[in-house]
Structure 1
């Protein structure tokens, strides 16, 4: 009898631990759609591409519709060149999907394991992987762009950019380069919306929207050469900065400071010297090297000296069809110059932050980029409690300083269990005083990352 009565007692005691007060099991956090997309970027991208490829191979009658996803369109066999058209949109879509899959694979299966092998913790390994992908992409695409620019007739002569306009033929490599760059911008707009927002979210969103609008419009208008030069001037610093950050996470402080100095010098030369020289060349040489008026979309011959054939409709004629007239006048010139000035304005805003970083290097001996979320945020060992104290993890390894006194025992219990350190977000973040250097210099520190 004693044995029979002990079994229900054990069951009742067990139920106390596995059941909640309302009789239901422990509540499991539901995955949001955004989190699901982030966690399944490889699967989603490859599934869509595999479906398109299956349709392309299994149904030959659909190949005229699926082929633009997998190869460049509008090839002129007799001339050996390409032109542009609306089917190029399909290639941009497939390239954006492919870049999404490659990025996710590189981050999750290559760069994060490397970061963990280097001893980086979870948050630092994520940042390391993101910067590694940026360095991989921009160094590769910049090399392609520089090759095209170096072997062109406008190398070293910005005025020669307009020598052959409005002739629209372009090489296969130039077309691939411009479309992949546009696909990357589209993919970046997707990434900054589905992944965790940074401090410079709206600046980066504005940059990507302006650049993608400028690049797509320049592509339709046949401004391939100036697009090549602008992208080369922009992309070179976009792999130098991630390279400096990678050195930061690997704790090569001196190398990081040197790399950041190189990045800053190149930034000034490319984005504030050569870029402005290019802008002035467009302003000065467009009316000097070509006559204002309208040109035939098929033969590139001038058909009218009137650059304003009707109100605003002429602006969109090249978008509606390749054979439509393409016009050049002061309005069109200033539309493109305004977009370029907008990019220069964003670069100036970012340069003020870079100047702060340079000040930190000179005065404090380390470089930190202010353009993203803080690398030295609040660290909480274990999962953040609903109510309770927050402990600020010190960089020098000293005992964390408690903030608040409630539920301290519970927090210490989680710490003793060896839970991984995670960063407080949302309401758990402790605000920094504006006078604190850590609040002003936040992103690319060359000191030991937390």
Structure 2
């Protein structure tokens, strides 16, 4: 009779060579493995209801189309039905991300000669380049064709007019959907060292973007997102060059990234914050507005309820006063503080690279994964290889086809989690995957 035991150290089921029992899978791992299926199934069900039951279209249409369109002006306003569009956009982005990483970029990376983990890292960076280059170009187009192109004081000339173009509305809602989807991703996938910083950034940014959308600060949101998004595809681009071993190109790309980060996030961004402080109310009077017209010069109509009045009913008046101005400025400054923290880490990495040639990205993820060596030892055991070729003792594992093969293109992996982590020394990690700098690993 075959004997089976559960190994608490590896959090997997091990068995005799003739046994066949699948690796224990957590709910989080199941969600990661089925992102495409879950997202597309929900969207397909909504689409089926939309097409098969015309009586339900007033309820399903907001999932697929922008709401609150005014044919007379060819413009849109905001409303609570926009929540449905954000939900479906977040699902679509989840599916597109997983498809791009697993079915397109990762196989191309493997063909280029990268290993399993290297191809996964390149694919994740490739998705960042794909999304941010597209959305940044869209935002830049809106900014370039506006009346506030590099004239921050003109941002307030149109406030609090609610109408906006369809492209502006789509752009802001997709950006919000991406932030919500990013919060989901960082909680279901392997945690990085900067998990809590990224979580705080996404929460602050999504709260700020949502509030600005409801208050009608479309122009400010457009400028802030443009200044932030540009570096979010420059850094992944430099990392891709590093993974492909284009060292000189990576050095140049990393230099461009650092320069652009400093100019956009620590110069132009601060100029924008100063403009908000200086030009409100110089270009826009304090008071309460309804449908674009001032209805009261009293910016504090009733205790603090006026702050949340636009959230409760979008037809309620929207007010502007020093309190509201400084609340929004506080959110913007908090994002700036996170950017300063990250930039300090990046400068430290760059300095270490120039002086010692051994830079390690302090924002990178933990590498706790143990890869199975393709060479198996006799008696059905598999020798697990730690980082940099430091091997461990043979362990009997189940080699059945049902073993977890998540994001590995067929390579068997076992992950140590929680208290069952395999204790590797920090120096055993692959330095190449943990670096922002472009120097070769030592």
- Which range, TM-score by smaller chain? 0.7 to 0.9
Structure 1 residues 392, 305: CA separation in 2 closer, same or farther (over 3 Å shift)?
same
Between the aligned partners of 1:66 and 1:149, the Cα distance in structure 2 is 32
Tell me the residue number matched to 1:93.
Answer: 87
Tell me the residue number matched to 1:323.
Answer: 315
Structure 1 residues 325, 362: CA separation in 2 closer, same or farther (over 3 Å shift)?
same
RMSD: 3.0
1:29-428 alignment, distance < 5 Å: 29-296=23-290, 298=291, 300-365=292-357, 368-374=360-366, 382=373, 393-394=387-388, 400=389, 408=393, 425-426=416-417, 427-428=421-422
Q: Contact 2:387/2:429 (CA < 8 Å) preserved in 1? A: no
Q: Contact 2:50/2:57 (CA < 8 Å) preserved in 1? A: yes
Tell me the residue number matched to 1:20.
Answer: 3
Structure 1 residues 378, 313: CA separation in 2 closer, same or farther (over 3 Å shift)?
closer
Q: Contact 2:287/2:319 (CA < 8 Å) preserved in 1? A: yes
Q: Contact 1:221/1:326 (CA < 8 Å) preserved in 2? A: yes
Give the TM-score normalised by the residue count of structure 1: 0.84
Report the alpha carbon displacement of residue 302 of structure 1 after superposing the two structures with TM: 1.0
Highest Rg: 1 or 2? 1
Q: Contact 1:373/1:443 (CA < 8 Å) preserved in 2? A: no
- Which SS does the other structure have where 1:302 is aligned? strand
Structure 1 residues 21, 319: CA separation in 2 closer, same or farther (over 3 Å shift)?
closer
Q: Contact 1:368/1:446 (CA < 8 Å) preserved in 2? A: no
Segment drifting more, 22-31 vs 334-343:
22-31
Between the aligned partners of 1:230 and 1:252, the Cα distance in structure 2 is 32
Structure 1 residues 409, 48: CA separation in 2 closer, same or farther (over 3 Å shift)?
closer
| Bigger fraction of residues in helix | 1
Q: Contact 2:128/2:233 (CA < 8 Å) preserved in 1? A: yes
Segment drifting more, 319-328 vs 24-33:
24-33
Report the alpha carbon displacement of residue 35 of structure 1 after superposing the two structures with TM: 1.0
Deviation string 1:56-101 (CA, Å, 9 cap, x unpaired) is 1111111110000000000111111100000000000010011011
| Bigger fraction of residues in strand | 2
Q: Contact 2:241/2:247 (CA < 8 Å) preserved in 1? A: yes
Q: Contact 2:365/2:434 (CA < 8 Å) preserved in 1? A: yes
Deviation string 1:333-369 (CA, Å, 9 cap, x unpaired) is 0110000011001001101110112113312347643
Structure 1 residues 437, 344: CA separation in 2 closer, same or farther (over 3 Å shift)?
farther
Report the alpha carbon displacement of residue 197 of structure 1 after superposing the two structures with TM: 0.6
Between the aligned partners of 2:30 and 2:390, the Cα distance in structure 1 is 36
- Which SS does the other structure have where 1:288 is aligned? coil
Structure 1 residues 127, 236: CA separation in 2 closer, same or farther (over 3 Å shift)?
same
Report the alpha carbon displacement of residue 446 of structure 1 after superposing the two structures with TM: 2.5
Report the alpha carbon displacement of residue 379 of structure 1 after superposing the two structures with TM: 6.2
Report the alpha carbon displacement of residue 374 of structure 1 after superposing the two structures with TM: 5.0
Between the aligned partners of 1:70 and 1:421, the Cα distance in structure 2 is 39
- Which SS does the other structure have where 2:295 is aligned? strand
Deviation string 1:104-155 (CA, Å, 9 cap, x unpaired) is 1000110110111011111111111100000100000000000000010000
Between the aligned partners of 1:238 and 1:56, the Cα distance in structure 2 is 36
In structure 2, the gaps of 5 or more residues are 6-14, 377-382, 400-409
How many matched pairs?
411
Tell me the residue number matched to 1:11.
Answer: none
Structure 1 residues 290, 245: CA separation in 2 closer, same or farther (over 3 Å shift)?
same
Between the aligned partners of 2:395 and 2:30, the Cα distance in structure 1 is 31
Structure 1 residues 380, 28: CA separation in 2 closer, same or farther (over 3 Å shift)?
closer
Between the aligned partners of 2:86 and 2:146, the Cα distance in structure 1 is 25
Between the aligned partners of 1:374 and 1:119, the Cα distance in structure 2 is 23
Report the alpha carbon displacement of residue 264 of structure 1 after superposing the two structures with TM: 0.3
In structure 1, the gaps of 5 or more residues are 1-14, 395-399
